[in-house]
A and B are shown apart, each in its own frame.
Chain A
Amino acid sequence: MSSIEIDTVSMHYTLPNGGSVHALDNVALDIRQGELVSILGPSGCGKTTLLNIVAGFLAPSGGAVRVDGQRVTGPGPDRGMVFQQGALFEWLSVERNVSFGPDMAGKKKSQTAARVAELLKVVGLTGFESKPVYQLSGGMQQRVALARCLANDPGVILMDEPLGALDALTREKMQGLVLRLWKETGKTIMLITHSVEEALLLGERLIIMAPRPGRIVKEYRLDFAEQALKQDPRKVKATQEFVRTREEVLSMIWSMEEAIMGHDAVTETASA
């Protein structure tokens, strides 16, 4: 199990066309071991850039990220990733996707078979072992992605809108699964989402980011995840406390979006 230390990270992101975006400005965040932190913000607030820096796919322009005190310089199996979609290997069966990490580490099939079967049971895919992944529904594919990530037993799991491409009903079910997996495995999870409900329900801590430049503007400590583990998550979502917080966060995000839209309209007229 691991902790994440994001030490005043700044990022001037250079676009392929040479343009530059001030994506992150002195972002500081410590995530304790075993904590589930959700990060929310309007598009362009740099939340995915931040996740990519923690994952080691991008080098920050300033500051550093440390996982268990070790400075991150590149991707590694200590930080598992769950992407929105399309990151499964469609030429492999469900089983082979899940065992990809152990397979790459040179473990024998006989050593990993039991663990893979166990993980498939946890995510509810027993019986689908030899199915090709492209035959599964979107929700099932994300279950495979979760199991694939867990098979490597990383201390940290980084999720980049893992449920973003699913329909509303599947999404609700999957939120329950993510919570359960978090509780059972005790992993440190950093979750990027654009869904306010999801961020509130899953995050022990909710970080709200604002764009231009991307920065942390507000932080909540929440206990909806604890409640949702004990009772029906839908009941938690209907509580007064949840609805009130949701409206508060929503209006904050809305005003940010509006500020951007206004800003864009102004610059467009100015340049025209």
Chain B
Amino acid sequence: MPEPEKPSRLAVWLGIADNSFTRQKTVKFGDASAVNSGRLYSILIVVILFAAWIIASAAGVVKPFYWPPIGAAIDRLQILMTDGFRNVSLWNHIGISVYRVLSGVFYGAVIGIPLGFAMGLSSLARGLFDPIVEFMRPIPPLALIPLIILWFGIGEFAKIFLLFLASLFIMTLAARSGVSNVRVSKVHAAYSLGASRLQILRHVILPNALPEIFTGLRTAMGVCWGTVVAAELVAADQGVGSMIMIAKNFLQTDTVVIGIVIIGIIGYSIELVMRWLERVLVPWRGKV
């Protein structure tokens, strides 16, 4: 049989030709690992979108009210980076939003993890808190904003309290499931090695629950990032969410668009940092 012609390395890199791994497979449809990356099309679509933006800006077909011309967007970004927005630097807007998320998740974890442990280990705690947790779980945190404004106003405490609630139930459920999923043979082994109940909690149940606690932290970070932006849209004078809301009131579409892009980038970065932390701190995850 003649050797089939080898595709060029460029074509392989661009993801439009089979690499040596996918080439050997005869069945490709249905085998997700045999689908090439199609990197060329990724590059093309980004280039096309930018080109369309540049052309549309030059031709003046889209009103700046709906979408900013590229030149105006770049200018605005420079102004935001140097002068800030409404006397607050762009970094401060980003910083305050991130700070709120981290505080909310921190307090949610500090209360939620012990609560989840208690619920997984004692029938008193399970009975007491189960109705509350199950009732609160399906309520979107945003639905709590009006009540929280009525109770605590629109200050910093109100925002962090909202994020605390948003992460609390996620962390509680994650910790509880981590505790419930411990293999009973591990606990039995530890008892047979002479461990006390406290030692089993500290040296078996806690480390065993860490991977699930981490999944909870990741989810809580994501949910809180979405919630903080929405909360800032409602009531705040600082933060990325408030920046785009106020910019909208002044019809500054360019600032709105830049804000949205920043929200996306930060949300993605949070996810990446959490994944990295997970790899470093619970390397045994999924390997048992």
Binding site for B on A (CB under 8 A): 55, 57, 74-77, 79-81, 83-84, 86-91, 100-101, 104-105, 132, 134, 148-149, 152, 154
Contacts and interface: CB of A to CB of B under 8 A. Distances in A.
Given A76-B194, A104-B194, A132-B283, A86 B288 contact: yes
B207 to A, nearest CB: 4
Contact of B186 (A75, A86, A105, A149): A86
B195 A104 contact: yes
Contact of A134 (B183, B199, B207, B284): B284
B193 interface: yes
B185 interface: yes
Contacts, number: 72
Nearest first, the 7 closest Cβ-Cβ pairs linking A and B are A77-B194, A101-B193, A75-B191, A91-B207, A87-B185, A134-B287, A90-B284
B186 A87 contact: yes
7 contacts: A77-B192, A83-B189, A91-B208, A91-B210, A100-B193, A100-B203, A104-B193
Given A75-B192, A104-B193, A104-B196, 13 more contacts: A83-B188, A86-B185, A89-B203, A89-B207, A90-B287, A91-B207, A91-B282, A91-B284, A100-B193, A100-B195, A101-B194, A104-B199, A132-B283
B278 to A, nearest CB: 14
Contact of A89 (B196, B204, B283): B204
B287 to A, nearest CB: 4
Contacts of B186: 86-89
A79 B192 contact: yes
B190 interface: yes
A76 B192 contact: yes
Nearest to B186: A87
A75 B193 CA distance: 9
A81 B203 CA distance: 18
